[in-house]
Amino acid sequence: MPLTETEAESRRLYAELEPGDKVHVDHTIKVGLSSWHKTITGTVEYKERRRNGMHYKRANDDKVYTDHLVLRLEDGELTSVTMDEFTGAADCLSFRIPQGDGPQHFVTRNLHRQTSGRRHPQLAFMSQPSPQDATSLFSRHSRKFSDQRFVYPVVSRRSGGISIGVNLNPDKICNFDCIYCQVERVSHSVTRFVESDALLAELDNTLRLVTSGEIYDDPLFSSTPENLRRLNDIAFSGDGEPTTYRNFDEIIDKCAEVKRRHGLEYVKMVLITNASMFHRPGVQRGLKILERNNGEIWAKLDAGTEDYFKLVERTKISFRQVLDNIAAAARERPLVIQTMFMKIDGQPPSTEELDEYCNRLNEILEAGGSLKLVQVYTVARLPAESNVTPLSHKEVDAIVERVKAKTGLTAEPFYGPNVPAEEA
């Protein structure tokens, strides 16, 4: 079937994009009558064509593909924009080609085409990157830094400084499928296995860059505020559940050794985990090694009931197993509880769900567990599902106060971006 004039023009303009071009992307995610706007500024890394999800639902000889634009954001995050022409409502795609020397001189060509009914990208070439501030530094956590594959530095809003991430799941396989996760799991990862020697070399190099201050010469970190120019921790997290790594105890031990070689005994080693594998002997050994090396466990607890747990986490693992694992670990050492609350289809968690959540925290305490902090946060990065949106500042604050009142625990709020002023 021949292309229409609009389709041909759209493809031609898309083809003009080259690695290194500055682009500006606006997303509108529509949920019912509400819209959530997300603005992204980045540099083109590459373009690729991927199999669409419909590929698996149609006849084998009826292949469905979509074009993707992969951008590197100002903090190093790689993000993908789907150039989808196969679905839903009509939308307008704008390419703006810079003219002259200033960033505000553009020639704009508007192209009506079919795009997703939920996520509508608008692209524009930019001649200057937008200035970076602390908020944008916090908004994205790249899993890539330079040519490294396993270790990546980020500016962490929860750490209040530089956190060095260690990705034990570069294959992007996880035993949870959280509706708010920002990891794109449709395409296959280039790196499928952890190469321990390469990982340890990357950790050694990143520790050197951060402690020497050399990292702040990198454009990705040059605008980091002075009060955040501190190494806070080495965090085991990444693109999946780190405790599913087969040799978890061994890699924790070897990373601790690298930290000691740099004389950084005071730097924390943080495990960010869904707690689903704490019952495994190898994981238990790893937790003890972590504890001996100024370790801290941040255990995820996003629900008060089994039904809500299944809705959010989408896993075959039972809620009871997670709760029992958290309680057992908390009897051995104080834990930090990480909790993500959000709006689902425009609705925040119910009062009943929040009360049950507080009851689960109290059960951990009553079982002899110790909880040093509860972190209540909301969506800060583009989630897996388009019906997931952030809570307002007031809603996050109300949950924090509820936790304090009903449990007596220390709780802290962490807010999402782009909340309208009247809601904040």
CATH code assigned at 320: 3.20.20.70
Domain total in the chain: 2
Q: What is the CATH number of the domain that holds 69?
A: 2.30.30
419 inside domain? no
The whole-number pLDDT of residue 1 equals 53
Average pLDDT over residues 216-229: 90
Q: What is the pLDDT of residue 424?
A: 55
Confirm whether 422 is domain-assigned: no
Using alpha carbons only, how large is the chain's radius of gyration in Å? Answer: 22
The mean pLDDT of the chain is: 78
Of 109, 126, 143, which residue sits at a domain end?
126
- 87 and 156 in a single domain? The answer is no
Q: Which of 25-39, 56-70, 133-147, 231-245 has the highest mean pLDDT?
A: 231-245
Q: Which residues contact 211 (CB under 8 A, 6 or more apart)?
A: 231, 262, 264
Grouping H, G, I as helix, E, B as strand and the rest as coil, residue 128 is coil
**Domain shared by 218 and 361, yes or no:** yes
Most confident by average pLDDT, 45-54, 128-137, 255-264? 255-264
224 neighbors 137 (Cβ within 8 angstroms): yes
State the pTM of this model: 0.67
User: Is the sign of the CA dihedral 397, 398, 403, 405 positive or negative?
Assistant: positive
Does any domain span residue 304?
A: yes
The reply to whether 324 and 229 lie within a common domain is: yes
Whether 265 and 359 map to the same domain: the answer is: yes
Other residues' Cβ atoms within 10 Å of the Cβ of residue 214: 11
* Percent of the chain's residues with pLDDT above 90: 50
Statement to judge: residues 361 and 240 lie in one domain:
yes
* pLDDT digits 0-9 by tens, 372-424: 999 999 998 778 788 999 999 999 999 999 999 999 999 999 988 755 544 55
What pLDDT does residue 386 have? Answer: 84
Q: Using CA atoms, how far apart are residues 180 and 77, in angstroms rounded to an integer? A: 17
Same-domain status, 113 and 218: no
- 226, 104: one domain: no
Q: Are 39 and 25 in contact (CB under 8 A)?
A: yes
- Which residues are registered as beta bridge partners of 371? 335
- Is residue 147 in a domain? yes
Between 216 and 20, residue with greater pLDDT: 216
How far apart are the C-alpha atoms of 415 and 266, rounded to whole Å?
Answer: 28
222, pLDDT greater than 70: yes
d(CA 209, CA 215): 5
The tokens for 392 are 């307002």
Identify the domain boundary among 87, 105, 126. 126
pLDDT higher than 80, residue 339: yes
Tell whether 198 and 66 lie within a shared domain. no
Together in a domain, 234 and 342: yes
Looking at the structure, tell me whether residues 332 and 237 fall in a common domain.
yes
Q: What is the pLDDT of residue 20?
A: 73
Say yes or no: 232 and 318 in one domain: yes
Tell me whether residue 232 is in a domain.
yes
16 lies in the same domain as 161: no
Any domain includes 408: yes
pLDDT of residue 95: 34
Whether residue 308 contacts residue 349, with contact meaning beta carbons closer than 8 Å, is answered with yes
Residue 197 sits at φ, ψ, to 5 deg, of -65, -40
If one compares 147 and 300, the residue with the highest pLDDT of the two is 300
Domain of residue 270 covers 134-414
Closest C-alpha among 19, 40, 20 to residue 28:
40
- Domain end position, chosen among 126, 152, 170: 126
Residue 423 belongs to some domain of the structure: no
70-84, 246-260, 277-291: least confidently modelled range: 70-84
* Helix H or strand E segment including 345: none
Q: How many CA atoms lie within 13 A of 40 on its CB side?
A: 29
**Is residue 81 one of the residues assigned to a domain?**
yes
User: How confident is the model over 166-210, as pLDDT tens digits?
Assistant: 999 888 888 998 999 888 655 555 556 788 999 999 999 999 999
What does the chain come to in residues?
424
For residues 123 and 98, the answer to whether their CB atoms sit within 8 Å is no
